[in-house]
Each structure stands twice: as C-alpha cells, then as structure tokens.
Amino acid sequence: MKVKVSYTVDLEEIPNVVRQMVNSTHDMQDEIAELTSQLSRGDLGVTSLKNLDRLREISEQMSTKFEECQSILTGFLTAVFNQNEEDINKIAEQAAKQSEDLENDSNI
C-alpha cells in the first residue's frame, strides 16, 4: 500500500528538493541499464522474466518519483508567478496612487 507523505520546506528550497529527487533516480537508471543489457544477452528464460518484472517495478517507481517532481514544480511555479503578479499589481497600484497624488497636488 502506498501513502502520501508531506513536509514543509521554504519556497526557495523547492528547486533543490526537485533536483535531489531527480538525482535519487540515478541508481534506478543504472539498474535499468544493467537489466536491459542482461536481457539483450540472455536466453530469455526464467531469469529474463524476473528481470522484466524488476524493470517494470523500477519503471513504476521512477514514474511515481517524476510525477511527484512534476507536481512539486508545478506548485512552485504557480506560487512564484502568483507572487510576481501580486508584486506587479502592488507596484502598479502604488504608481497609480502616486500619479493621482501628483495630479491632485498640481490642481491645488
């Protein structure tokens, strides 16, 4: 059974978290390369059948890991762009207010 685990990190740390998650697949990728090599040289008997099952398991694990990375990165980008949009809106509001204040001052 699979369960979802969550924890909190600073927004700035998200790119590093995603990189670490992607890097954690290197051993899986190495195992895939080795099993694939064995399959291409093997007799396609029982060992090959076990290797194919292991390849499927590793592929599922990697798929899950990359899906998690994609979800985290989507949330990160949404947060960053929303923050940037909020900052831009604040600056625009301040500029409009300053322009309004200058206009009011010149009318006095």
- Mean pLDDT, the chain, rounded, equals 87
Sign, CA dihedral 13-19-21-24, equals negative
Span 18-69, pLDDT tens digits? 999 999 999 999 999 999 999 999 888 999 999 999 999 999 999 999 999 9
Question: Is 80 exceeded by the pLDDT of residue 93?
Answer: no
Segments making up each domain of the chain, as ranges: 14-107
